[in-house]
Amino acid sequence: MYMGVETRGLSRTQRPRPAGHGWAYALALGIALLAMPLGAGAAKHALMRFPTLHGNTIVFSAAGSLWRVDRKGGLAQRLTTDSGLDLMPRFSPDGKEIAFTGNYDGNTDVYVMSAEGGPVRRLTFHSDVVPDAPTRWGSDNMVVTWTPDGKQIMFLSRRTTYNSWFGQLFLVPADGGAATRFPVPRGGVTSFSPDGSKIAYNRIFRNFRTWKRYYGGLAQDVWIYDLNTHAIQRVTNWKGTDTYPMWYGDTIYFASDRGPEKRLNIWAYSLTSKQFKQVTDFKDFDIDWPSLGDTGIVFGCGGQLYVLDLPSEKLEKVQVDVPDDGVRTRPRWVDASKTIQAFDIAPNGKRALFEARGDIFTVPAEHGNTRDLTQSSGVREQDPAWSPDGKWVTYITDHTGEAQIAVRPSDGSGAEQILTSRAKGYLYDPTWSPDSKRIAFDDSDHALWFVGVDDRKVTKVDADPRSEMHDFSWSPDALWLAYSKAADNDLRTIYLYSVASAQATRVTRSLANDYGPVFDPQGKYLYFIGLKHENPVFSETEFNIATLKMAGIYVATLQKGKPSPFAPRSDEGTLKSDEAKKDEGKPGAWKPGASAPIRIDLGGLDERVVPLPVPAGEIGHLSAVRGRLVYLTTPLSSFETSLHGEKPELHAFDLETRKDKVLTSPLDDYALSADGSAALIKNKSTFAIVGTAADGKAAGETAAKNLDLSHMQELVNPSAEWKEMYEQAWRLERDLFFNPQMNGVNWPEIRARYETLLPEVACREDLNYVIGEMLGELGNSHTYVGGGDELHGKRVPTGLLGADFGADAKAGRYFFQTIYPGDNTHESYRSPLTEPGIDVKQGNYLLAVNGRELRVPTDPYSLFVNTLGGTVTLTVADDAAGKNRRDVTVKPIANELNLRMKAWIDHNREVVDKASGGKIGYLYLADMDEQGMDQFINQFYSQVRKQGLIVDVRYNGGGFIDQIVLERLRRVLVGMSTNREGVAFPIPQQLVHGYMACLLNHYSASDGDIFPYYFRKYGLGPLIGERTWGGVRGIRGFWPLEDGGYVTIPEDSLYGLHSEWVIENHGVEPDIEVDNLPGDVMAGKDAQLERAITYIMDKLKTNPMTLPPPPPLSPAYPPAGR
């Protein structure tokens, strides 16, 4: 959820910056690392997770592999050795086999193997709905349990879902074959009754989410579902978490945080007495993934394994040694160029400077070695900047345990010098003064500072309570700082700060957004970007406008009485002296250092502003060098994509010729050399150096020269990196979390508690788990972790056809049970079997794929592995006997999510239309982001003449467009107009003049919480369904960790008009509560939708919402006008 928060890329490339180190030192460090005692790498301890128990044997996941150990403890034996992540092992009822989720073949699938070890068998062949699902979603094709007869394995998959919020339960034969849906619409952790006729299960799956003390609408309960009668019984009704149901005899054990410890502990529910009792009482850590075996319950807690013996309920701690070979923790060489997060360029344009994998590198434009200047695995250096004199680089380091400003020689010849001694705060944007004597920077407290390189004196310049201060620059004499700051109307204005007087003066008015100020190197002008071009553009869907391409570049003269650089010029015939001609209008050659002090007349500066003669556009990243301006233009953006037909361009404007030239395109961003001769260009993963002269001559041709990044090799110590990333994740929350009191949590104590688990971390996924648990202690929404050097090899996805297969058991063939039509006018909704010329119909049989015969029980998806990106030849027929046998060639798709979602939406709309006789419209929003906006545009305007509208935000995962949508739904009929034909036109035209209702459920989250909250506040209609997720503290994106992983930080929070917190950790209550029960859903019933139809139809019966017809044509005037 973004909730309108400013989005800021963490790669800081907005002004000149630092670099470099040497190969000799790299080799020495490498030898040192390799010679280190491999304490972490060869440790006999590892984080043990997802355990399973049978008899006297425990199998668990550690270091990405499966291991087995005696129930009494001892030395574990490795069972799997693949390069991927193996998890969720589950013993078969007879203890002879283990089912688990693994990544052997380039996809996350269900596998089975002997409990003694040996070859594995792949049972599923279906890819996830996204290439790399977030950690909090949990693994696709996740093993849940075995059926009591041991013939089938239950797993959780997103393969047939119409929304990624939830997965569905499936059964796959242990001997192999096609998977079948388990007869519940959604589900999570499940346990069969001893006779297999019932299940105890969670209807909600959120077991990889780490939000602790969670009481929102997505809180889990344990339910009993009768597989024969479809009756359902709610077992638990605690406001928090009740999960991991385990059915043992007449007792259902489960994990709950209902106890006084507010920790997940084992509880028991007696089916005979109907009483609950607490069984364990852990206080410091939650129990982790308990599972039921034949002799007890095994689980993890605080890095240890425990067995709860049954039926005695005696707790046993299991001491285990894990003899991991340390392949995932030993030092290794990595390609740091894959994780570049910030860059700069040398003052002469001859070297590039990078922050990559937590180190600072310099890379030559053409000649010389690549240098790793810092070589500090376990310390992160960020945001490098090269000094104008070329001697130094500055950067941010956490060498001391806190973020500090540091410098070191740019050629790698000397040691690091730390200039600050800060106790807290996240730092950004170290920026050198022209004389290389001071460094300005900003921080997470929205303050702007500078520090002296020699005296190390730190001076606070200003602070902006509304936003961070990232756009600042030095004057050429190093005695002024220009920056922007938000006014109380949220418009930014330009300020100038005098180093000499320590005074800041606002120099532009808050009538429009003015930002990105930069000084003319000669001290004559101040340039900045202003949103002063109104440019109203009409919408094509409604009578409305958007203001686009408003930015222009503006220049203010710093001294009164001086002409603007665009004053009228006149060519004359008078000869001037050679000296005058030589100096006239010609900027001198650049040289490092500060200029002579410049005079700035602060009074009336905003009255001395004129525009640069360039077109208005999406302008950013403005830089000034002698004689020219360099700036970036970008295409109009639609959410995360750009409109077609435009590309980002790097421009140079020559102040002498007053001409603008495109230097290169496309690009993402650039860094300009201090001498102005060259720019370092980033375009996706490619970096190049390009000349910046607008005439293409002064600095040579502007053709880009790609840099060779292949030598950016870094020797990393994973355990040291993991400790740094853990600490940085903790600091990021401390320094940026919206509540400085950390929701009442003792944050230092939390750090110390989970730090004890770091020695157990044996793979990158373990680190994500530990960080996630730590962040979860905040008890807050949107605290996520993910990514990094996760365990997966080459991806080998499965191509899909947009269809469900049915099995004709008698004929031993598969047929197309359902073909999802999609919408072939949109690539994201393309349905391969419905494209023009494809002769395949629902009910046709699939006989072969690419010439390989397909028969039951072979899993059909196994024939589509690794077919993405190309075409497949399907052999189809009208019946199993091969009638009208034919070959068709189709192009598979990566996932069917959108096709299934569209089918669900279309079905719901048909139900509404039929039940209401066409009077009620139906509008579904999958999120409050780009897809939801597209859906609103596609669905709203075609239904504006309905007398009612059902707005469905069930499973809506959030975003930020709630007010955009609500503004259109809130429109009120205020008038009418007509034409010669007597048509009645409403004013405003694009509105629904009718009754509304909003559907919501437990999965309506983030902005999906906020939308129904304000839907009700605006009085648009009732909320029908279930209480929502309850997470309204927003983030502005992912904060990258040094290996490419990320954490998120809630930085703002919604509150109400009476100064009270709202929604968070509770959700939005419906006005009419309706639960879609599993049996009803499987029978095709949607009680929530039906209740909304009934509500609106009842209103229409009382008061139909029709438009008033035009009046009689005669008399032709209102009474007063006759």
**Residues ≥6 apart with Cβ < 8 Å to 952:** 908, 922, 923, 924, 925, 998, 999, 1089
Nearest to 497 by CA among 469, 522, 465, 533: 469
CA dihedral 1055, 1061, 1062, 1064 (to 10 degrees): 110
Residue 483 main-chain phi, psi, to 5 deg: -160, 170
N-terminal to C-terminal alpha carbon distance within the chain: 58
Number of Cα atoms under 13 Å in the Cβ half of residue 135: 26
pLDDT value at residue 510? 85
Distance CA 491, CA 612 (A): 21
- Separation in Å, CA 187 to CA 153, 190, 277, 442, 891: 15, 8, 25, 47, 32
If phi > 0 it is left, if psi is from -120 to 50 it is alpha, else beta; for residue 305 that is beta
Question: Which tokens hold the place of 524?
Answer: 């004559």
Distance CA 540, CA 859 (A): 48
Q: Which residues of 257-267 are buried (b: 16+ CB within 10 A; e: fewer)?
A: bbbeeebbbbb
**Residues ≥6 apart with Cβ < 8 Å to 792:** 83, 84, 85, 103, 106
CA dihedral 758, 760, 761, 763 (to 10 degrees): 170
Mean pLDDT per 10-residue segment, the chain (1122 residues): 33 33 33 38 77 98 97 97 94 98 94 97 96 93 98 98 95 97 97 97 97 98 97 97 98 98 98 98 98 98 97 97 93 96 97 98 96 95 98 98 98 96 97 98 98 98 96 98 96 97 95 96 97 94 94 97 90 64 58 94 96 96 95 90 86 95 95 96 96 58 81 97 98 98 98 97 96 98 94 87 97 98 95 97 98 97 96 98 97 97 98 98 97 97 97 97 97 97 96 98 98 98 98 95 97 97 98 97 97 98 96 94 88
CA 1080 to chain CA mean position, Å: 35
- Per the listing, tokens 């004359």 go with 572
Question: Which tokens hold the place of 924?
Answer: 């579904």
User: Which amino acid, residue 973?
Assistant: L
Residue 302 main-chain phi, psi, to 5 deg: 60, 30
Residue 103 main-chain phi, psi, to 5 deg: -130, 40
The pLDDT tens digits for 255-293 are 999 999 999 999 999 999 999 999 999 999 999 999 999
Nearest to 691 by CA among 365, 349, 975, 456: 349
Nearest to 214 by CA among 1078, 769, 1005, 786: 1005
To the nearest whole percent, how much of the chain has pLDDT over 90? Answer: 90
Alpha helices for 943-1028 (secondary structure H) = 962-969, 1007-1017
Q: Which helix (H) or strand (E) holds 769?
A: helix 764-776
The secondary structure of residue 742, as a DSSP letter, is G
User: Given 3-state DSSP classes, what are the helix, strand and coil percentages for the chain, each rounded to the nearest 5?
Assistant: 15, 35, 50
pLDDT value at residue 587? 56
- Sign (positive/negative) of CA torsion 158, 163, 164, 168? negative
Nearest to 129 by CA among 898, 958, 955: 898
pLDDT value at residue 589? 77
Distance CA 135, CA 94 (A): 32
User: To 5 degrees, how large is the angle CA 519–CA 524–CA 527?
Assistant: 40
Question: Which tokens hold the place of 538?
Answer: 């009409």
Q: Is-cis flag, bond preceding 857, omega within 30?
A: yes
- What does the DSSP assignment read for 585-652? TPPPPP-SS--SPPP---TTGGGSEEE-SS--BEEEEEEEETTEEEEEEEPPEETTEE-TT---EEEE
Query: Counting beta carbons within 10 angstroms of the beta carbon of residue 600, is it exposed (0 to 12), middle (13 to 18) or buried (19 or more)?
Result: buried
Question: Which tokens hold the place of 1046?
Answer: 């990320």
Q: What is the 3-state secondary structure (H, E, C) of 678-696?
A: EEEEEECCEEEEEECCCCC
pLDDT value at residue 23? 29
- Contact between 124 and 108 under an 8 Å Cβ cutoff? The reply is no
Distance CA 100, CA 120 (A): 10
Q: Which helix (H) or strand (E) holds 581?
A: helix 578-583
The pLDDT tens digits for 558-580 are 999 999 999 888 877 866 565 44
pLDDT value at residue 793? 72
Q: Which helix (H) or strand (E) holds 895?
A: none
CA 850 to chain CA mean position, Å: 38
Number of Cα atoms under 13 Å in the Cβ half of residue 887: 10
If phi > 0 it is left, if psi is from -120 to 50 it is alpha, else beta; for residue 478 that is left
pLDDT value at residue 45? 80
Question: Which domains does the chain show, CATH number per domain?
Answer: 803-893 (2.30.42.10), 919-1030+1055-1102 (3.90.226.10)
Q: Which helix (H) or strand (E) holds 853?
A: strand 852-853
**Average predicted confidence (pLDDT) for the chain:** 93
User: Which amino acid, residue 1047?
Assistant: V
pLDDT value at residue 27? 31
- Contact between 1069 and 937 under an 8 Å Cβ cutoff? The reply is no
pLDDT value at residue 578? 55
Greatest Cα pair distance in the chain: 111
Q: Is-cis flag, bond preceding 666, omega within 30?
A: yes
Distance CA 419, CA 404 (A): 7
Distance CA 480, CA 469 (A): 16
The secondary structure of residue 978, as a DSSP letter, is -
Nearest to 900 by CA among 28, 306, 157: 157
Number of Cα atoms under 13 Å in the Cβ half of residue 697: 2
Q: Is 335 helix (H, G, I), strand (E, B) or coil?
A: strand
